[in-house]
Chain A
Amino acid sequence: MKIRKHFLLVGLFLCVGASSIAHANVENYRLIPPDSLNQQVNQTKQLLLFQKIQQATSPLELAQQIVRSKSLSTVNKEYLLFELAKNLRITNLQIKQANKQSALSYIKSLKPQLKTVLSDGNHQQVIIAFPFDKAAEASQEYLKLSQLAEKVTTLIQQADYATLSLQNEFLSLDKKQTQLTKKIIGQLSQQQAEYFVDWSLERSDINLESKLIFALKAKNKNVVLNLLQDKKSIPLHRYLQAVINLWSKSQQLSAIASISKNENYASQMMYLVNDLNIPREQKINFWISQLDKSTSGASAAHSLAKIMNNDLADNLAQKSIETQSQSFQSRALLALNLSKQDYAKEKIKMLLEDGLVSANLAKEVSKWLN
C-alpha cells in the first residue's frame, strides 16, 4: 500500500514536471533522478514526459538537444533517446518522405547510445524504431547484444516495415531463414513484398528460396524467372503452382519451358503441365518436344504415360521410328511402357519385332514384356 502511494506521488510529480517543460528544452529533465526515471517508466508505463516529444514538430531537433545536453546523465540520455526512437516509429514514414537523408544520418549518429540501450532486454522494442532502411544495420547491433531466437517470434507479430526488415536481417543470419520467411510472408502486402524483393536481391546472404517467396508475393515475373535460372536448387515443388499462376494461360507453357532450362527444375516442370488449363493437344506436343532432353525427357515420358490412349500410342510409335535420337526413342518407349496399357505394350512389341529399336535399348525394353 505504501509503495502504491509512493508511486502516485511520484506520478503526480512527473505530471507537474512534464507540464513545466511543455515546449521547453530538455534540460529540464535533469530534475528527475535517472534511477527513479527508469524505475517509474518501467513500472507504471506512464510516459508523460514524452508527450512533448511525440507532439514535437521536429523530433530530430529534440533528439539533437538530448545528445548535446551537458546536464543530462548518460542514463537519462539513453532513455530519452530510446523513447524518442519509439516516437520515430510512429512518424517513420513521414520522416522518410520528408527528409529521409537527414533522418538516416541522424539515427546513425545516435547509434552508440542506442547500442547501450539495446543491451537492456527490456528495451528490445527500440529496434523497431529505426527507419526502414537502417533497420537491418541496427539489427546487426541488436544481434550482438541479445539472444535472438525467442524474440523473433514476438517481432513477427508486429508487422510494420521496420519490423519486417528486421526479421529479414535475422533471417540472413539464422539457419531457419526460409522457415521464418514463410512465417512473415503472409503479413506482407504486395507493395511491401516488392521492397523485400529489391532488398533481398542485393544480399548474398539471403537464400534463393526466400528471394523467390518475396518475388512470388510481389508477383514479379521477371525476378521469378531470373531466380529460377540460377543453377542452385530450391525445394521448388512447394511453389510450383504459385510460379505458374503468375503467367496468363497463354504464356504458361513458355514460362515452363524457360524454367525447365534449369536442370534442377526441368523434371518437376514437366509434371506441372498436367495441371494447366490448356488443350490436351498442347500438352502432348509440349511433352513430346521435351522427350529428348536429358533432364526433362523422362518426366515428359511419365506425363505422357498418364494420359496415354491409342492415338497417342500410335503417335509415339511413329515418331520413335522417324527420329534418329536414341534418347527420344528410349523416352517414347518408356512412355508406352509406363502407361501399362495393352495397346501401348503391343506397340513396343511391334517396334522390337520389326528391329526398329537399337540392340542395347532392345535388351532393356524387352524386360517390360515378360
Chain B
Amino acid sequence: MVKLILSSMTVLLSSTLALSTLLSTAVLSTVVLSTTASATQLTYTENDTTDPNNRALGYPVPVPVASQTPVDGFRQYDSLFARHQDMALNFDSITGNIIGQTRAGEDIWAYTLSDADNTTFEGNIVEGSMLQNGGIHAREWQSPEVVTGIIERFYDNQNDQGFYRYLLDNSRMIIIPVLNVDGFRQTQRYPMNAVFSTDQDDNPEFPRDGRMRRKNMLDVDTDLSTENDFLLGVDLNRNNSPYWATNPGRSSNRQQSIVHHGSGPGSEPETQALQAAAALAAGTLRFYIDTHSFTQIYFAPMTGNTRRDNITASIAARMQSVNGNRYAYGPSGAGAGIGSTDEYFANTFQVPSYTLETEPGQSGGTQYGGFGVSHDGFILPESEIARVRNELANASILGYYIQAGVPSIIQLQITRVDTGATVYLGNWQADSATSRSWQETANATLETDVNYRVRLSFNKTMRWRNNGQSAQYPGQSIAMQPTISLEGFDSGGNNYSVALNNGVGQWVNNVSVANDGYLNYEDDSYVFEFTLPGGSAVIGATLQQLAITVTDLAGQSVDANPATVATWQNGSWVNYESSDGSIGDIGGVDRSIRLVNDGSPLFTDPAAPPSGGGGSGGGVTSSGGGGSNGVVWTIMGLLALLARSKRKTI
C-alpha cells in the first residue's frame, strides 16, 4: 500500500513539476497580459526582449531543418518522411506501413524493423514485437527525432552481423515516427510563435497552438490569428481506454482544455492508428514506449500483475542505467489512470509500458543555460538533440533486446586443438514453438593431457562491441566472463567440480574456422580451451555435466532449461527456468548439457544436499541416496565439500 501511495505521489509530483517551472514566469506576465483582450501571439527569440510579447530563450530558437540525414537540429516533417521512406526503400529489413490517416487526411506511417519471417532464427519459435510511438504531442520535437534515430541506428548498421542483426532476425520492432502529423506540421509552420492562452484552466502566460500545439487538429485551422479555434483539438494521450475520462483533474471534457480527452475512448483517428500499429505485432507485443518530452523520466503504469510490474521496473532500471541514471522512474498505481497510451498498452496487452519524457529535466531550458521562460522545456536547444538521439536510441534498443528473448544455450562443440577433430557436438533443436530437443552428433571420451577447444553458443548476441573490443553495453555492468565448470560424480561416487574456462575465454565475432568463431551472430559464442591433467576426477566419472553461469549483455541469466522454450505470455515469461527448475523471470545456472549422463534429474547440483522438490527428470542419481534421510545427506554433502576443496581444479 505504501508503495502504491508513493508511486502515485511520484507521478503526481513529476507531472506537477513538469509545469512548475512554467508557473514561475507566469506570474510576472499576468500583469502585462491583464490588459490584453485575447489570443495575443508571442514570439520566441534567442535574447531579444524589446517587444513585451517576446520570450527570450537564452539559446537560438530551433527552426525546422531541411535535411534527411540527422543534424544538430530538428528536421522538417517532409524531410523526416522522405528519410523514412528512403530507408524503407533501401534496406530490406525496414518496411513502411500505413496505419491510418489523421484528421486532415494525412497518412500515418509505422515502420517495421525486422526480417521477412515471423520466427526466430531457430525456426519454430515466434518472434516477439516491440512498439515505440513518437510525435503524439505536437510540440515535443524531441520525440520524432529520437524515434527516427532508432530507425537510423538500424539503417546505419545494416551490415552488422551481431547485435543489430540479431534483433532484426529475432524480433519485430515497430516505430511510429510521428503519430500526430497534423499537429506536428502546425508547430513547424510557426517555429517561433505561439498564442497566449485564454483558457480558463491555463495561466495567461501559458502558450498554446503554433509552436506550442500539443493536441491534434480537430476543428482547428492552421491560421494562428483566428481566435475561436486555437485552443481546440484532442489530447491524444487522454483519448485511450481503460481510464478514459476517469480523472477530471488531469483530463477534461472541455474542448478548449489542453488535456481534452475527446468524445470517447479511441475517438480520434490518430489513436486508432496507434492501435492499428499494435495489430502489426499480430499478438506478439512485449514492449511499448510512448516518447514525449520533458522532465527526463520513465513513467510506467502498474497493472497489478505483479510479475509484469516487476519486469517493467527491472527493464526501466536497465534503460536508466544506460544514461547514467539521469532519467528517473515513475511507476503509477494500478487501477487508475488518465487515459494515456501507456495505460492502454499496459492493461490491454500486459506488457512493460512506458511514457518516456526526454530531456530536459524539470528545470527546462535552464538546464542548458536558458533563461527559463514558460514551457521552454519543449524547446530543446538544437545543439543537444544529436546527443539525446544517440543516448535514447541506446536505452530503447536495450529494452528491445531484453524483451526479444531470454538467453539460452543452443550448442556445445568440443574439438581437439591438435587435430581439429570434434569430440563432442550437441545442440538444442527447436521442435516446436515451445520445445527443444538435444541433438547429440558426437560424443567421444575426454582424455587427459589433451588440449580441447570449447565453443559454447547461445540463441542471441551476448556481448556488445566497442571499437571492435568486447565491452559493456553503455551503462551496464555485467560479468563479462561466464563461469563454466564440469561437475558430477567421479568413479568413486564422490561429487566433483572442476573449473574449465578460468575467465580466460573470449566472446567471438569472427567467422569460425576451427571451432573458434561465432555460430549465427557475432558474439553469440564463447570460446575457451582446457586440458584435463592426469588424475582428474572427470576421467571415468559417472556424471559429467556442465554448469554454466552467464548473463546476456543486459544482465539476464540463461534459461536453465532450454528444453522448454521461454516465451512471453500475459505479462511474464513462460518456461524461463531458474537453477532449481522453477519457472520465473530471472533464469539461473544451466546444467542441461551432459557429456556423460547418469540419468539423474536435470538442474541437480551434485554438491548440493538433496531437497524435496526441484529437478524435472525424476530419475535417481548414480550416487544413489534416493530415500535417504536428511542427516545422512548432510554428512555426505559435507564430505563431498571437503573432498572437493582438496581437489585441484584445472
**Which residues of A line the B interface, CB within 8 A?**
176, 178-179, 233-238, 263-264, 266-268, 271, 295, 297-299, 301-302, 305, 326-327, 330-331, 333-334, 337-338, 360-361, 363-365, 367, 370
Contacts and interface: CB of A to CB of B under 8 A. Distances in A.
Interface stretch (B7-15, B92-100, B443-451): B92-100
B108 to A, nearest CB: 13
Nearest to A268: B67
Contact of B65 (A237, A302, A331): A237
Interface stretch (B78-86, B171-179, B222-230, B284-292): B78-86
Interface residues of B, number: 28
Given A271-B66, A330-B86, A233 B79 contact: no
Nearest to A236: B71
B88 interface: yes
Quick one: which of B60, B90, B96, B386 has the most chain A CB within 10 A?
B90
B92 to A, nearest CB: 6
B82 A298 contact: yes
Contacts of A237: 65-67, 71, 73
A298 B68 contact: yes
Given A237-B65, A268-B65, A365 B89 contact: yes
B85 A334 contact: yes
A331 B98 contact: no
B592 to A, nearest CB: 40
B68 A235 contact: no
B54 interface: no
Contacts of B623: none
B112 to A, nearest CB: 11
B369 interface: yes
B69 interface: yes
B382 A302 contact: no
Nearest to A183: B47
A330 B90 contact: yes
Contact of B89 (A178, A179, A299, A333): A333
B67 A334 contact: no
A105 to B, nearest CB: 40
Q: Most B CB atoms within 10 A — which of A236, A295, A305?
A: A236
A298 B86 contact: yes
Most chain B CB atoms below 10 A, which of A178, A235, A297: A235
Given A237-B65, A238-B60, A268 B85 contact: no
A264 B71 contact: yes
13 contacts: A235-B383, A237-B65, A237-B71, A268-B65, A268-B71, A299-B67, A301-B86, A330-B89, A333-B89, A334-B85, A337-B85, A364-B96, A367-B97
Contact of B78 (A234, A302, A326, A327): A302
B71 A233 contact: yes
B59 A302 contact: no
Interface string B57-75: 0011000011111011100
B69 A264 contact: yes
Given A179-B59, A298-B83, A301-B82, A263 B69 contact: yes
Given A233-B386, A330-B89, A364-B88, A370 B68 contact: no
Given A295-B69, A299-B67, A363-B95, 14 more contacts: A233-B386, A234-B72, A235-B71, A235-B72, A237-B66, A237-B73, A264-B71, A268-B67, A271-B66, A298-B68, A299-B79, A326-B90, A360-B92, A365-B89
Contacts of A330: 86, 89-90
Interface of B: 59-60, 65-69, 71-73, 78-79, 82-83, 85-86, 88-90, 92, 95-98, 369, 382-383, 386
Nearest to A333: B89
Contacts of A238: 60
Q: Identify whether the interface residues of B are mostly helix, strand, loop, or mixed.
A: mixed
A70 B215 CA distance: 78
B382 A235 contact: yes
Contacts of B73: 235, 237
A146 B500 CA distance: 61
Nearest to B383: A235
Contacts of B92: 360
Given A179-B59, A233-B386, A367-B96, A331 B86 contact: yes
Given A302-B78, A302-B82, A327-B90, A267 B69 contact: yes
Nearest to A269: B67
Contacts of B85: 298, 334, 337-338
B74 to A, nearest CB: 10
B276 to A, nearest CB: 14
B24 to A, nearest CB: 22
Contacts of B69: 263-264, 266-268, 295, 299
B382 A334 contact: no
A338 B71 contact: no
A329 to B, nearest CB: 9
A301 B83 CA distance: 10
Given A298-B83, A330-B86, A271 B98 contact: no
Nearest to A178: B383
A176 B383 CA distance: 11
Contacts of A299: 66-69, 79, 82
Contact of B98 (A176, A268, A297, A367): A367
Contacts of A333: 89
B192 to A, nearest CB: 14
B79 A302 contact: yes
Contacts of B65: 237, 268
Nearest to B88: A364
A235 B382 CA distance: 8
Contacts of A365: 89
A297 B86 contact: yes
Nearest to A305: B82
Nearest to A300: B68
B575 to A, nearest CB: 35
Nearest to A297: B86
A305 B86 CA distance: 13
Nearest to A274: B66
A334 B82 CA distance: 8
Contacts of B383: 178, 235
A299 B69 CA distance: 9
A180 to B, nearest CB: 11
A297 B85 CA distance: 12
A236 to B, nearest CB: 7
A334 B98 contact: no
Contacts of B83: 298
Contacts of A268: 65-67, 69, 71
Contacts of B79: 267, 271, 299, 302
Contacts of B97: 367
